Amino acid sequence: MKTVRSIRIPYRLIAAFSLMAVSGSILTALAQNVQTDTGDLTLHETTTSRGDTGTVQTLTSTNYFSRNAMRRASPDGNDTIIRVDEGRIIMINREARTYSSVTLQELNQMLEKTAAETAETDAQKEAVRQMMGQMMDSFTVTKVGPGEPVAGFKTEKYVVKGMMEMEIWAAPALKVPDYYYDALKMSVRPNPLFDVRKLYDEFKKIDGMTMKTIATVKMMNMEIATETVVTSVERKPIPTSTFAIPAEYKQVPAAILK
């Protein structure tokens, strides 16, 4: 009997999968302080998951986008700040009142190490792919047509095929910052077994900000599904403190470098 489990998978996928190393060109782009015409944007979203017993859990989170920075404020208190202007990623634990910071130089060193390890993982990669029953790094994004209105915005619907199947509703009126998808590649620890960079490359085909996502992952007789919907959008200046580290927080080593 197939087991169906539901867990929270944010539509921005910051924590959904371990990602392979990103190219040096992406690091260079971020280091050069990428600019965008997108004004400050705050998205409030709700994620609904259903457990094996039929229980329903609803979580809320907020995503902030400015000219050169973005922040995801998660309900579990673990926030991610990407400072494009400073060339670093900051992870904040609001409950523990701690933070960690990773610079582009440190990421470069990690990526070089990962590249060396990748050469030794061919056999492991093939074994995993056979176990999963599909290619882990094959993804396609296809535009379907007009979608349903979400949070007052007209949307276009897209379908993602691959290891993860998704339905995505995007609002063309809300432009994605230039650095967005490249920055997301850098926010999760690389894994030499899976090269899913193609997923983010495919996401660049989507016109506008993602407003609703229904994602399903099927593997080893298990199905993981979740739905995330933007409930409201604010177009007003975001305080600079939103992207700053609180003075009273203590710095700890970055898990992404371990």
- Rounded mean pLDDT, 103-131: 62
d(CA 206, CA 176): 9
Tens digit of pLDDT for each residue in 243-255? 999 999 999 988 7
Q: What is the structure's pLDDT at 199? A: 74
Most confident of 76-85, 173-182, 241-250: 241-250
- 42 and 230 in contact (C-beta within 8 Å)? no
In this predicted structure, the answer to whether residue 9 has a pLDDT above a threshold of 50 is no
Residue 202: both structure tokens together: 């495919």
Sorted by where each starts, the structural domains of the chain and their CATH numbers stand as 3-245+249-253 (2.50.20.10)
* CA 255 and chain centroid, separation: 17
Task: Give the chain's mean pLDDT.
Answer: 74
Q: Above pLDDT 90, what percent of the chain?
A: 38
Tens digit of pLDDT for each residue in 48-57? 886 555 677 8
C-beta contacts of 114-118 below 8 A and 24+ residues apart: 114/20, 114/21, 114/190, 114/192, 115/21, 117/192, 118/20, 118/21, 118/192
3-state secondary structure of 71: strand
- 103 and 164 in contact (C-beta within 8 Å)? no
Residue 36: both structure tokens together: 């965008």
Residue 51: both structure tokens together: 């457990």
In this predicted structure, the answer to whether residue 121 has a pLDDT above a threshold of 60 is no
- Rounded mean pLDDT, 89-93: 92
Q: Above pLDDT 70, what percent of the chain?
A: 62
Beta bridge mates, 94: none
**pLDDT band at 26; cut points 50, 70, 90:** very low
